[in-house]
Amino acid sequence: MAKQIQAIRGMNDILPGQSRRWQYLENIIRQVVAAYGYDEIRMPVVEQTDLFKRSIGEVTDIVEKEMYTFEDRNGDSLTLRPEGTASCVRAGNEHGLLYNQQQRLWYMGPMFRHERPQKGRYRQFHQVGVEVFGLDGPDIDAELIQMTARLWKTLGLTEHLTLELNSLASNEARANYKVALTEYLGAHAELLDDDSKRRLESNPLRILDSKNPAMAEMLAAAPKLSEYWDDESREHFNGLCARLDAAGITYTHNERLVRGLDYYNRSVFEWVTTSLGAQGTVCAGGRYDGLVEQLGGKGTPAVGFAMGLERLVLMLEQLDQADLPAAVDVYVSAMGEQAELPAVKIAERLRDEFPGLRVMQHCGGGNFKKQLKRADKSGARLALIMGDDEIANEVVSVKYLREDKPQQSLTWDQLSQVITTIHS
């Protein structure tokens, strides 16, 4: 036998059955973003490597060690997108969508990072991202958080997620803070792990993000970013908090929340769960007012977030809250060769008259018992049976597969009524 070829580690197949849970999640996300008037944008999965280097930052986990970068046949350096924000800004600049305009956009699709695969962490994973351009107030930041809160409510996840907020303030305030933090960390260099030592010069804020328990106490006593906030950023943050309070959304102010990407300023936030082990962040975002300009556009304020769909699917699985609909509503069987064409006609007529009804036609012949077994396995609620008697009497037999009801012979009109009740 020929050797089987396997999928690449960390890149998963989403199998039939599982895909229904994905569709359930994706459909609810589409409904929620639509409920706020956001429009979809679709970007390519491959971009020039420089796009990510210039936006995410050279000294970040993503650019330092996680990108899938390769040379194409022309010798150009290309990268499988590790996230969507940079591509979205690139597209917005390229098509003149950003300057002096307001855009509320969302996208969904695969992202690629060469990380160590484990539960909730994969090399191909999926994000839904939401990005807003042209608005700089805390009102829009609050709207984004409200949108995510509504999503959790719709998915039944509210009590399993908590919101953490921080402000990275202005570039100047952050730069002042960096000096103080670097000094403090330098004075405690003997407690820093190798990763942190390396970051001390290049990206000291990221050290605050460390989950190393040996550094926890020292980091807890570090100078606080909020002590360096500029007045405008403080006002912005207070404005966001007031709006969340008014909306009844609870949060904690996490002084050490800095996010792993360089382009953020002012508001940053994460929705976190304790139910997924170390991979606890399901949604993260913030303001990136400088990025549009940094990527060659004219200065445009921006804010957005991205959520990891695998982590949400895992949560839904654990809670088993997504009631998975079967893929089929009605299964149509034919008994005897004569009945085959009339059965196909019934199935097609149902599809004509009940858009959205999922009708599976039995194929491959077989006796009554075999066909009913298939019908049952399909998950359908009803089996329709055409045979010689049904043709002679101009009826169709209906067998209820999930209810304790006797089989019935129905005219088309009667059948229509039954279908209307199950298909609303």
Q: What residue ranges bind ligand ATP (CB under 6 A)?
A: 83, 113, 115, 120-122, 125, 127, 260, 279, 281-284, 306-308, 310-311
Between 107 and 331, CB nearer to ligand ATP: 107
Cα(287)–Cα(138) distance, integer angstroms: 10
Between 115 and 136, CB nearer to ligand ATP: 115
* DSSP tag of 3: P
Pick from 348, 342, 351: which is nearest to 390 by CA? 342
Shortest Å, Cβ 102 to ligand ATP: 24
Cα(210)–Cα(294) distance, integer angstroms: 28
Shortest Å, Cβ 413 to ligand ATP: 51
Which amino acid type is present at position 358? R
87 within 8 A of 41, measured Cβ to Cβ: no
Between 158 and 414, CB nearer to ligand ATP: 158
Other beta carbons within 10 angstroms of residue 259's beta carbon come to 21
Between 155 and 401, CB nearer to ligand ATP: 155
Between 12 and 409, CB nearer to ligand ATP: 12
Pick from 417, 387, 416, 422: which is nearest to 402 by CA? 422
Instruction: Kindly state the tokens that stand for 423.
Output: 């298909």
Which amino acid type is present at position 195? D
Between 56 and 181, CB nearer to ligand ATP: 56
Shortest Å, Cβ 220 to ligand ATP: 20
Shortest Å, Cβ 66 to ligand ATP: 8
Shortest Å, Cβ 193 to ligand ATP: 17
Shortest Å, Cβ 285 to ligand ATP: 8
Cα(362)–Cα(334) distance, integer angstroms: 7
Shortest Å, Cβ 122 to ligand ATP: 4
Element containing residue 410 per DSSP (H, E)? strand 408-410
Pick from 267, 307, 308, 297: which is nearest to 86 by CA? 297
**For ligand ATP, which residue has the nearest CB?**
308
Between 142 and 261, CB nearer to ligand ATP: 261
240 within 8 A of 253, measured Cβ to Cβ: no
Buried b (16+ CB within 10 A) or exposed e, 221-231: ebeebbebbbe
DSSP track, 211-223? --HHHHHHHHTSP
Plot region of 174 (φ>0 → left; ψ -120 to 50 → alpha; else → beta)? alpha
Shortest Å, Cβ 279 to ligand ATP: 5
Give 156's Cβ-side CA count (13 Å radius). Answer: 12
Shortest Å, Cβ 266 to ligand ATP: 16
Between 9 and 377, CB nearer to ligand ATP: 9
Other beta carbons within 10 angstroms of residue 83's beta carbon come to 19
Between 314 and 347, CB nearer to ligand ATP: 314
Cα(295)–Cα(316) distance, integer angstroms: 37
Between 85 and 333, CB nearer to ligand ATP: 85
Shortest Å, Cβ 411 to ligand ATP: 53
Pick from 254, 304, 301: which is nearest to 280 by CA? 254
